[in-house]
Amino acid sequence: MLDLGNKRIVVTGGAGFLGKQVVDRLCQSGAQRDKISVPRSRDRDLRDFANCQRTVAEQDIVIHLAAHVGGIGLNREKPAELFYNNLMMGAQLIHASHTAGVQKFVCVGTICAYPKFTPVPFKEDNLWDGYPEETNAPYGIAKKALLVQLQSYRQQYGFNGVYLLPVNLYGPEDNFDPRSSHVIPALIRKVYEAQQRGDNAIPVWGDGSPTREFLYSTDAALGIVMAAQGFDGPQPVNLGTNCEISIRALAELICELMAFDGEIVWETDKPTGQPRRCLDTTRAQELFGFAARMDFRTGLKNTIDWYRQHAA
């Protein structure tokens, strides 16, 4: 078990939705807050190699969470930006970390890296069995390239980089911007605004048939820090709950929790994304003892309560 007590740690994306939870979990696990640095994109554009070098200089551990990411709408609108920005940030940060002598690099990848049609539950060994779902592919492939980079740097240089594949995240402080949010915050906001206007229906993209799996942000942070402390292997590792829910059931559950009894209007001309998503979480349990803790209904309620308090 890696002792975090005297380690200098940089968390890219550490001021974001997941990043704040990772910083808190690092401190709960023995890290000293004054030795944790959180570069901000306004000061350190990680698409620039010199900024990557400055960011990792004299650091012991790098946890790379920073990403240009959004929901299906953003994926359709800006595929080139999503590919370029995520590839450049990650590839240059890994190279800078290797040349700076960083002891441990934890790279957080994406569920979007999996093939469009993958046996359910998704096993890490299926990662290369096909092309990702088309709208997710530019983002997913850019992030998957970082796995290849880490494995090749381990082989040639002995660089200790690990790669994690978290499923879709949710929780308080998520991104609720309708232009770039994922499905849970998007649905919560739609229901809330319909209630504010007195509407008796909400539109939802697709037909409700695809399934998804969701990991609460504090659980994701726990898994990331457990991997930072206790996992040093080359193989990718899923982080999830192994619980699958359809978009239709999710929308109905959010309406129930928010006491909205209006109609859900399915916009079947809109894209639905990958048909199914559910992770096999055996590897994380076996390699470093991670298992999700948050009950989904409770996690949704916490997220709804937070949004209602902060909607203004």
106 contact partners, CB below 8 Å, separation of at least 6: 61, 62, 63, 64, 161, 162, 164, 224, 227, 228
Task: Report all structural domains of the chain as residue ranges with CATH numbers, in order of start.
Answer: 9-170+214-243+275-294 (3.40.50.720)
230-279: pLDDT as tens digits: 999 999 999 999 999 999 999 999 999 999 999 999 999 988 777 888 99
Active-site residues: which are they? 139
Provide the token pair at 149. Answer: 């980079």
**CA 203 to CA 206: how far, in whole Å?**
10
DSSP-assigned letters across all residues of 170-202: E-TT----TTT--HHHHHHHHHHHHHHHT-SEE
Largest distance between two CA atoms of the chain: 62
- Report residue 41's pLDDT band, with 50, 70 and 90 as the boundaries: confident
Q: Is residue 273 marked as binding?
A: no
Q: Please tell me the pTM assigned to this model.
A: 0.94
64 is in an annotated binding site: no
Give counts: helices (H), strands (E), the chain. 10, 12
Cβ atoms 44, 200 nearer than 8 A: no
Q: Is residue 123 marked as binding?
A: no
- C-alpha closest to that of 107 among 183, 159, 157: 159
Tens of pLDDT, residues 105-150? 999 999 999 999 999 999 999 999 999 999 889 999 999 999 999 9
19 known ligand binder: yes
Say which range, 36-40, 116-120, 156-160, 237-241, has the weakest mean pLDDT.
Answer: 116-120
Give 76's pLDDT tier (boundaries 50, 70, 90): confident
